[in-house]
Structure 1
């Protein structure tokens, strides 16, 4: 029988709420820090399938989360498309050649860079308890394009937004290429054992409404449409971080099965404005988890009660912070698991 998370993502409003946390496998865990210290850089971990599988499973063993999210990175897709990728300490990811300076056609695809990720999924799925759900993921085209164009993350995605205005046809070609690789990447994850997938659009909030329609809604809809044509029954979670009032249009128009909500959205508003019956995931502020105490319980309960009348996956509004105390995670889980609809 499918686990609590998979049943919720499939549209069942369960009495108990499944819970997993974005970045649940990471630097707040001492076992992660120990393994990373033994392996070296971040990409070394991602491309060591046994190590990546172990990292994926660490928070399941410690906390019993309902979902195991693949340990990888959204920038594996442009890496497979032919850009070089490195993670610099204190600076984050750098990609080259950046598409401000080079043509998309100058890149030589290296599809073999995806194969170790599929092996990680296979290893995790083989070790995962039957009541837990294996979650795959990919970055959404707009967010991936911002890194491919600028070569790094930026505060307001200035270079990428300017390129999209200046050369919309050229930028559309970049988006279309990302869509194609992303569909194949997600199919590969699902064939390896992923039971649901999430599309992360981390920089969706930087776009004006008309541009949001073109560069967020349309490409994500294309991914959903193409993926469901090949594999129709795997739930897809869309997470357009920062979408604000555009969240409703995203939920209605992309075809995703469930919608991730960030912490800037009032859960009462989201429960009212999102399509009736659509599964929602979120949306506790990660800083509340960092702070702990009575306010953590109060705000977590507010989220649970706001989404009581629809399928709800309890999660954060974005990734867990690296200095979050483990006892605060345990506090949150005790509350969520004691709550009943």
Structure 2
């Protein structure tokens, strides 16, 4: 058998998770082929807001995700710099931090409770007075206080996907767009490749990185099918003057987050709906987003509405990622990232690439193994 063929890795899914893994593997000299049913980077990677909000997004019962999320935050600056160098495309990693604001006494009480959870987890956050909030963001509505998360940053997820789409092939990866994988092929208890485009493609490793579509790939059995579902999110974008934006930090408020981009776009998101793959934009979804955004930032009523869209977060049964080996030799999982796909991109690529290249099993990934669902 051709040694290069026997070493080949096939990645199912060309979102930022699949492309970042392809980039690292190809850069290390491993033959890599990526397949996607649509255009690379145009699924959840395109729809996301790009927040790297490990501290702000902490919720009760999700403390076990912190170690993974915080490691990925630490990896992001180097990952972004190396990707920009490899692709020639800026990904706009912005490090202004995040404000989580309260707009009345009830919200302040809830936010103080959230602050206590964050402080118990020893996160780098602090409480800001109304005057301190105004000093940072003068166009916000009158806030009664806010949690300041100086290490929760943002990246332009669409530029990230574009940069990976350049960097991975430059490193040697082959990317097949508009080529759905019909079947993952298993023989004698191990992966032998995939069927796509009417042909068999051999590989020693197949990585399942198809996001919300991961469970629908042919050839998966009840034993190997990941419990991943689509969680619909409706979002919209407004246009701010790039030289005089209404907002400079990522801002969270009740029912909303606001993410300002370098080019003046203001990303407003997002709903969370268990609606399957229903991609419709609804009046209620847009109304809810605009009402909550206006309540936090009244000046948006003068801004042009330039885009609306939907995306499908890949939610696992416990809304945590599925990383590493499964019950079939050669099948590796990198899916189920739910709302943290952009944040967890560097750590996922690092953990899974080292597993494939070196057989290294990072203890950090153990809680997120496929076997936890059995």
Range of TM-score over shorter length: 0.3 to 0.5
As a proportion of its length, which structure holds more helix?
A: 1
More strand by share: 2
TM-score normalised by the chain length of structure 2: 0.30
